[in-house]
Amino acid sequence: MEAGKLYLVATPIGNLEDITLRALRILKEVDTILAEDTRKTKQLLNHFEIAKPLISFYRHNEGVKTDFVISLLKEGKNLALVSDAGTPGISDPGEDLVRACIENEIQMVPVPGSVAFVQGLICSGLDTTRFVFEGFLSINKRVRKERLAELANETRTMIFYEAPHKLRRTIDDLYDTFGPDRRIVLAREITKIYEEYLRFTLAEAKEYYEDKDIKGEFVVLVEGKIILPEEKINDLPIEVLMQQYEAEGLDKKEAMKKVAKEKGITKSDVYKYLLNR
């Protein structure tokens, strides 16, 4: 008997209009849907008039249910895995099941859609070319602080998820690790009615949330450490070299390129240095 397929189906993170036509088709066609919270998934299915059997599949029963799910797939059943919102496996159940499918040579099919951290990143105004997704920080104080300490010199944009009741503590820990002047963007309730993007330094964020009633789910984006080229050079300052080369007739772009080559750094480093002077 040919094994079935596991479809990893992304669902809306707020606005139901964000579900894809393909996701709706797959949810209608599969034999059963694995749901992180069957009540929430039932609401989604009812909205789109889809009637399918549901199996509870959440983080704390994933290890127990995985063998059962694999047996269904081996029987030829096609299954869809959905989380409460967003893409399964990203800070949500699915990772262990994916590994089990690989071990059992069962085909998996991603059905793309919303991912909260991507939506937060593209509206943040921070560097989108290089970033690191950290998900939820540990609730253990020591583990959390150790992880942030490891990120102290991270130059990429850092992205975290956070619940409202933990946000104030997280901002305090970020402040202690990265200092008062590091830029932070708090994307709240993405795609929902009260969606907003708050842009601060960490000092400003700490003050803003000191006495504020905090509601909604957050994507927290922290600017990476900017390593100024002056930390890498011993000779003439970059601005002096820029003036010299521009005086020789080079345009700014060519002057930056020449400075970068001379200093053994990138043109982007030169640009960031000049921008922060």
Q: What is the pLDDT of residues 36-82, one digit of tens each?
A: 999 999 999 999 999 999 999 998 888 889 999 999 999 999 999 99
Q: Please check whether residue 186 is in contact with residue 220, taking contact to mean a CB–CB distance below 8 angstroms.
A: yes
Q: C-alpha dihedral over 210, 216, 219, 222, to 10 degrees? A: -10
Residue 263: the pLDDT is 78
DSSP 37: S
Which secondary-structure segment (H or E) carries 82? strand 79-82
φ/ψ bin of 249: left (φ > 0), alpha (ψ from -120 to 50), beta (otherwise): left
Does residue 236 have a pLDDT over 80? no
User: Taking the model in full, what pTM does it have?
Assistant: 0.79
Q: What is the pLDDT of residues 100-130, one digit of tens each?
A: 999 999 999 999 999 999 999 999 999 999 9
- Nearest 5 degrees, angle CA 220-CA 8-CA 109? 130
Going across the sheet that includes 157-162, the strands are 131-136, 157-162, 218-222, 183-188, 196-201
Q: What's the rounded Cα separation, in Å, for the pair 6 and 174?
A: 39
Q: Please check whether residue 171 is in contact with residue 195, taking contact to mean a CB–CB distance below 8 angstroms.
A: no
Q: Which two tokens stand for residue 19?
A: 């579900």
Q: State the amino acid at position 231 in one-letter form.
A: E
Q: What is the pLDDT of residues 139-175, one digit of tens each?
A: 999 999 999 999 998 999 999 999 999 999 999 999 9
Residue 233: the pLDDT is 46
Structural domains present in the chain: 6-114 (3.40.1010.10), 117-222 (3.30.950.10), 229-275 (no CATH)
Give the rounded distance of the alpha carbon of 187 from its chain centre: 11
Three-state SS at 221? strand
